[in-house]
Amino acid sequence: MNSHLATSRPSSLKKWLLCAGLTLACAASSLPAFAQQNPHDLYNEFDLPVLDPQTNTYGPNGIAIDFSGNVCANIPAQYIYDAGIDPFYALYEYEISIGGTAVPPTFTCTYDSNTNITQALWSGGTMLVPLPASGWPIPLHTDANGNRYLHSGLDRGAATLTGIIPLYKTWIWTQTGQTQSMIIPITAALATRLGAEKKPLYAALFVATGATANSAPTGTWYMLGYEKTGKPQFTLTNNGPDAITLPSGGSGIVTGIAPPTDEQCDVTPNCYDTVLDTLNDQGYPEPGEEGSRFIPLKLPSQLAPGQTYTFTAP
């Protein structure tokens, strides 16, 4: 697959938004040493936007990730200004570049106490389907059939310290009166040892998921914090309502990655965001691709709804 995701953003704007929305990622001078904290777990997924399945007309104008519990305080709203992981900000920049109608991206986070579910919702203009072959503000992920995919992701996608557990992701259409949605299955990846780590390291994990009846194949990069004691264990969980197919040879792991140091975070206050920007084919090419560092994982061919699979890193 082709490389993608090379983000750039106004540093002053990003620094302000980051410090306003995510205390742990602000200047190191106001924080304890990084080594005394749990590394942030990071998440970045690509998937294919499609037309409204009910009308076969509009592209989606929203994307949501549902989480278990009340976690709005930990969901980073500032990433609506990152074209690499908020597709509606990328669309906004694209429309400006061609003189089109540019709709500013928005973000909301709501908690439903009746269901005990938090929904993080990114929205904006009507996404183009298919995506343009040129002019998009960042390189798009492209498969062997020429399909072009968008990225979406967030800091603390499933944090080992705070226990943020994603249930599933949905594309959303609101242009035709009655809201339409389509579930995009995602695996929830966690280190099996939860809690603060004294000697933290990162593991980069890539999980490929097969096509469903309504969606194209997807792939997800995770950067997971773990304790430096022996071979780490991780879990993959399907918290969604549909079975998830895991293609053979499509997933892999890289362990022993050092987290940013205090000095690096002092120089680059958005150092966690910098790590997030490596979760792509450029920073971590998928298993089987040229230059890939991933060690292949032997995973089950399918995860049923509610199923968890635990594995030890090679």
pLDDT digits (tens, 9 = 90+) for 130-185: 999 999 998 888 888 888 998 887 765 555 545 677 888 899 999 988 899 988 88
Query: What per-residue confidence (pLDDT) applies to 79?
Result: 60
Q: Is 170 helix (H, G, I), strand (E, B) or coil?
A: strand
Q: Report angle CA 222, 31, 67 to the nearest 5 degrees.
A: 35
Q: For residues 77 and 121, what is the distance between their CA atoms, to the nearest angstrom? A: 9
Q: Are the C-beta atoms of 213 and 263 separated by less than 8 Å?
A: no
As a whole number of angstroms, the distance between CA 161 and CA 141 comes to 31
Q: Determine the distance from the C-alpha atom of residue 118 to the mean position of all C-alpha atoms in its chain, rounded to a whole number.
A: 16
Say if pTM beats, i.e. exceeds, 0.85: no
Q: Among residues of the chain, what percentage have pLDDT more than 90?
A: 38
pLDDT above 70: percentage of residues in the chain: 80
Measured CA to CA, the distance from residue 107 to residue 79 in angstroms comes to 9
Integer-rounded Cα Rg, in Å, for the chain is: 19
Q: How do residues 82-128 score in pLDDT, each as one tens digit?
A: 787 789 999 999 999 999 999 999 989 899 999 999 998 999 999 99
Sheet containing 180-184: give its strands across.
106-112, 117-123, 62-68, 166-173, 180-184
CA distance 147 to 141: 8
39 burial level (CB within 10 Å; 0-12, 13-18, 19+): buried
C-beta neighbour count of 54 within 10 angstroms: 13
Contact assessment for residue 137 and residue 210, using Cβ atoms and an 8 Å cutoff: no
